[in-house]
Amino acid sequence: MIKVIDIQDLSEVMEVERLSYSIPWSESVFEDSIKGSNECWLIEYQGKGCGHAVVSNVLDEVHLLNICIAPKFANQGLGRVLLQYLISKAIERKAKMFFLEVRASNKSAIHLYFSEGFNEVGLRPNYYPSESGKGREDALLMTLELFVDQYV
């Protein structure tokens, strides 16, 4: 089940975020996203939050800001289910472009995005803090063109 995140879900979201990333988003960033104009989604498995996503909608573009699946649920297709859900929501709101940044070292995420039709369109040098705590890491900029007219 995928549902909108509310403040009561924040502890589950933070648990997954902290288990998944060496440099997780802070609780205040999630609070701002939940209370602000971003869309925040929680994917549940057996009644427990096992992943989440945050997207920003500006005009006819959707920007994926965060997508995360708990490590114990990795490689089970839940990330793909959540991503496909986000794409379907973007199409519903008649967005024309869906874009994201991904760590250049995150090969499994890059493979997922390519398999869902995203294209690499650029590089953002030194975009992410390095997970080792030393230096920075590049991000690939990826986009998916949404041909809204063919889905109507």
- Is residue 17 annotated as a catalytic residue, yes or no? no
Residue 81 confidence (pLDDT): 97
Residue 33, φ and ψ in degrees, nearest 5: -65, -40
Distance of CA 93 to the CA centre of its chain: 18
Catalytic one among 101, 127, 128, 131?
Answer: 101
Query: Is 60 exceeded by the pLDDT of residue 22?
Result: yes
Euclidean distance between CA atoms 130 and 132, whole angstroms: 5
pLDDT tens, residue by residue, 68-123 = 999 999 989 999 999 999 999 999 999 999 999 999 999 999 999 999 999 999 99
Inter-residue contact 128 to 139 (CB < 8 Å): yes
Q: Which CATH architecture has domain 2-151?
A: 3-Layer(aba) Sandwich (3.40)
Residues 6+ apart with CB under 8 A from 65: 33, 38, 54, 55, 56
Catalytic one among 113, 127, 137, 151?
Answer: 113
Residue 129 confidence (pLDDT): 86
- Is residue 113 annotated as a catalytic residue, yes or no? yes
Angle between helical axes of 107-115 and 78-92 (0-180°, round to 10): 50
Residue 98 confidence (pLDDT): 98
Grouping H, G, I as helix, E, B as strand and the rest as coil, residue 7 is helix
Residue 57, φ and ψ in degrees, nearest 5: -115, 120
Residue 59 confidence (pLDDT): 93
pLDDT tens, residue by residue, 137-146 = 999 999 999 9
pLDDT tens, residue by residue, 7-20 = 999 999 999 999 99
